Amino acid sequence: MTVKFYKFQATGNDFILLNGFGDGVNLTIEQIRFLCDRHFGVGADGLIILRVDGQSDFFMEFYNPDGSIANFCGNGGRTAVLFAFMQGLIQNSTVFRALDGLHKAQIIGQDKVRLQMNDVTEVLPTEYGLFLNTGTQHVVRFVDDLDKIDIIKIARPIRYAQKFMPEGTNVNFVKVLDKNTIQVRTYEKGVENETLSCGTGTVAAAIAAYEKFDLQLPIMVKTRGGLLKVTFEKNDQVFTNIFLEGPAKFVFWGQINL
């Protein structure tokens, strides 16, 4: 079986995208792992298949590099929107669905996508840091020096902590730079490593920092892969109208024999 794929990146978070409209695309876990493998396959932080959806413009099916399916991916969602536009499936604005529900999005200019995330209903203190769900589970820890931390050594035990099982959690390390700017490094489950950027992690870090340090909106988030912007409203302890905005870029396309 030969598959036509498209490679995108959003602040260094890279994804393989497949158009599942028409004849559709059905991959095994082993094939997903192969495609995401950086040594033997194409290489990516995740794989996304766009499917026909009766409730919205398309359904975003997201897989981690280990082949596990995930509820949502913020940066992946932004690349999915740009991909759908390039494939002629949507106009500049869209409503699409993922496992965590419906999302609105808009393409701004040539390479920026503004994506609405689901509401966040609680930010919980734990022995590991602040815990919240922004489409997937996240722990946020605040540190003084991001460059010196051994992120894998510290994050991996938290990722697998019994408290967050069976799903497990991503782990974000955050440094507050000023009243509306933070810097973030994220360990992502499914990837089982640090990524250059994480969309849901960026949102989790911004909300957690806002709660703890009373930051000003919009919150600018520096990741190793680039700069993202997060805005939201807080009403009765619920965070609503959450938007993640930043660049998304098409890298290349190709064909691969599975």
Matching CATH topology for 2-116+247-257 and 124-246? Answer: yes
Q: Is 240 exposed, middle or buried (0-12, 13-18, 19+ CB in 10 A)?
A: middle
- Cross-strand partners of 45: none
Unique residue bearing structure tokens 């059905």: 26
pLDDT at residue 247 in the model: 98
pLDDT in tens, the chain (258 residues): 899 999 999 999 999 999 999 877 899 999 999 999 999 999 999 999 999 999 999 999 999 999 999 999 999 999 999 999 999 999 999 999 999 999 999 999 989 999 999 999 999 999 999 999 999 999 999 999 999 999 999 999 999 999 999 999 999 999 999 999 999 999 999 999 999 999 999 999 999 999 999 999 999 999 999 999 999 999 999 999 999 999 999 999 999 999
pLDDT at residue 204 in the model: 98
DSSP conformation letters of the chain? -EEEEEEEEETTEEEEEEE-STT-----HHHHHHHH-TTTS---S-EEEEE--SSSS-EEEEE-TTS-EES--HHHHHHHHHHHHHTTS--SEEEEEETTEEEEEEEETTTEEEEEEPPB---EEETTEEEEESSSEEEEEE-S-TTT--HHHHHHHHHT-GGGTTT--EEEEEEEEETTEEEEEEEETTTTEEES--HHHHHHHHHHHHHHH-PPSSEEEEETTEEEEEEEEEETTEEEEEEEEEE-EEEEEEEEE-
pLDDT at residue 176 in the model: 98
Alpha carbon distance 127, 7 (integer Å): 38
pLDDT at residue 242 in the model: 98
> Under CATH, which architecture does the 124-246 domain have?
Roll (3.10)
Alpha carbon distance 127, 245 (integer Å): 31
Q: Which residues are catalytic?
A: 73, 198
- Cross-strand partners of 193: 188
pLDDT at residue 24 in the model: 72
Domain boundaries along the sequence of the chain: 2-116+247-257, 124-246
pLDDT at residue 16 in the model: 98
This prediction's pTM: 0.95
CATH of domain 2-116+247-257: 3.10.310.10
